[in-house]
A and B are shown apart, each in its own frame.
Chain A
Amino acid sequence: MTIKELWHRLGSPRWFYQMMGPWGTGLGVAAALLLITGTLWGLIIAPPDYQQGNSFRIIYVHVPTALVCQSAYIMMGVAGFLFLVWRMKLADMVVKVTVPFGMVMTALGLFTGSVWGAPTWGTWWEWDARTTSMLVLLFLYFGLYALRQAIPRAESAGRACALLALVGVINIPIIKYSVDWWLTLHQPATFTLTEAPSMPAEMWLPLLVNVIGVYCLMGAVVISSLRTEILRRECNTSWVREELMGEPA
């Protein structure tokens, strides 16, 4: 299938619903396996840190959630752009179903960061640059969620949220730079694409497993909530009736 064909196919929620069932399940299973492996490996087998002892182990939850909530927002911005420009129904649904997932992951990232901060920084909350930008990200998710709830017509709500997501994506780098202005207490990023990790392999491998796992989880959650959303929006069509009740159209 060429990219152009795939592009046209994605315009059809029905096609997506029927094709993506196994993908959702597959990614869900992969996420469960990876997250269980990575977490057990990180919590039990990996060696303790020479400075932070065992308290560093929360990194295996903190870093994956903090990474995925930013990716989720960017994905939402891209989907919002697709919806505003091409009016692709599926893109609107992506914006809608990503918000709760991103909100939960941001909250988890903040919570685990706070728990980690208590023993290492000696405080539950510090207005550090990255903590602050995560908090703002959470507020951006709140805004999107509230806007969607406030607009009664689904079509308008979709376009309004898509626009707001897009504005948010343009703002995120500016927010990041502005809060980085204040000197940071946070340790530098654990993973960067350009450099080799500074941790030994037995410590970062389980982290990598968990990061991949949490991205699989995002895929699984987004796909399965998309399929539910498709059923809800298309509930008056004959194909949905056929799909769910086994009646011929």
Chain B
Amino acid sequence: MRSAIAGQVISQVVREWRTIARAPIDVANPLMFFFLGISLFAIGTGGEREGLAEIGPAVIWVLVLLANLLSLDTLFKRDHADGTLEQLLLLAQPVFVPVLGKVIVHWCFTGVMMTLLTPLSALVMNLTLDQTWILMLTLILGTPSLSLIGAIGAALTVGLRSGGVLLALVVLPLYLPVLIFGVSAAYLAGDGLAVTAQLYWLGAIAVLALTLAPFAVTQALAISVEQT
């Protein structure tokens, strides 16, 4: 039974992956926004190198949050528009299976991608090599929580006209702990201090989100589908 569910999740991941690979612009847009936003900060502050290094980790993390938020808008939208979502909810398999598959793929195309882009943004923001490593580590640990928590908000707002801004209002306050631990780890690393506690916290939040969020997303999807 257990392996059957794992198999279902994997086939869901493969399906999502193919869907996105066939329309890659949907995932490329948030990434371009991410890099554009960071550059805007660098340009807007006059490009002064010490100042950039000071705000760097915070700017990168905030842009990760925002790019993530923008990409969440499309997480369930297409499936909701063409009725696939309804069919997914009607399947005999537990609903968290497709949800988990979707979130995993979303994370691969946002969180992982932005982590991989971090050396580039760290260069723009004049961060040290140590800081860059720690930043990447916190991003890879923190972004799963962002995708999971964000999916709750995306599921709640999927059928609504005022989707975008509302999604930000609902989700951003819930992102706060991840932001704090991620940013503080990067700053501590900049001062040469230990960051294990922050990494443990980020890992713990990710595990908690992975445990609880799929069920909240399932509930939220049922509510959203019911109202249309």
Contacts and interface: CB of A to CB of B under 8 A. Distances in A.
Contacts of A59: none
B180 A143 contact: no
B216 A174 contact: no
A181 B184 contact: yes
B173 A151 contact: no
B166 A174 contact: no
A152 B205 CA distance: 33
- Is chain A's interface secondary structure helix, strand, loop, or mixed overall? helix
Contact of B173 (A84, A136, A150, A156): A136
Contacts of B216: 163, 166-167
Interface string B143-183: 00000010010001100111000100111111011001100
A146 B174 CA distance: 15
A147 interface: yes
- Is chain B's interface secondary structure helix, strand, loop, or mixed overall? helix
B223 interface: yes
Contact of A163 (B173, B177, B220): B220
Interface residues of A, number: 30
Contact of B166 (A84, A147, A182): A147
Nearest to A147: B170
Given A156-B227, A160-B220, A179-B180, A167 B169 contact: no
A52 interface: no
B223 A142 contact: no
**Leading 10 A-B pairs by shortest Cβ distance:** A156-B227, A178-B177, A139-B173, A143-B170, A178-B180, A159-B223, A143-B169, A174-B177, A150-B162, A153-B227
Interface of B: 149, 152, 156-157, 160-162, 166, 169-174, 176-177, 180-181, 184, 201, 205, 208, 212, 216, 219-220, 223-224, 226-227
